[in-house]
Amino acid sequence: MENAGIPSATICTDRFIPTAAGMAKMWGAPDYPTIFTEHPIENLSREALRARAEELAPKVVRVLTGEG
């Protein structure tokens, strides 16, 4: 999406650091600022997931505005 000129932010859990690094290299952007959060999230309650999203939101804004 960045290649298409659309600002984007990627969030991964921290068990997927090698996968995110591999994908960034594969797409020619080895320094791509993937945002990581503690694994896992699939069993979080709605409230806990919302709290996690609120915690990550400022990081997403920084990445989208190029200050990541």
Partner 1 sequence: MPESGDTNTGETTTVRWDSALEAIERCYELGWTDGLPVVPPTEQRVGEFIERSGRPSQEVVGELPERRREITVGKVAANAVMAGCLPEYMPVVLTATEAMLEPVFNLVGPSSSMGGAAILSIVNGPVAKELNINSRNNLFGPGNRANATIGRALRLVLMNACAAIPGVFDRSVIGHPGKYTYCIAEAETETHWTPLHVERGFSADQSAVTVFAGEAPRQVRAVGHPEPILHAIADVASSLGSNMSTSGSVGDTGVGVRQGQIVVTIAGNSNLWKDWTKAQIKEYIHARTQRSVADLKAAMVLEGEPVPGDSETMIPLIPEPDDILLIFAGGEESNMSSVIPSWGPKVGSTAVTKLIRWAGTEKNVA
Report the residue number, 15 or 57, with the smaller CB distance to partner 1: 15
Give how far Cα 38 sits from Cα of 2, 3, 12, 34, 52, Å: 25, 28, 9, 13, 9
Q: What number of other Cβ atoms are within 10 A of residue 63's Cβ?
A: 19
Which of 3, 5, 18, 54 touches partner 1 by CB under 8 A? Answer: 18
Site string for partner 1, 27-66 (x = CB under 8 A): x--------------x------------------------
Q: From the CB of 18, what's the least distance to partner 1, in Å?
A: 5
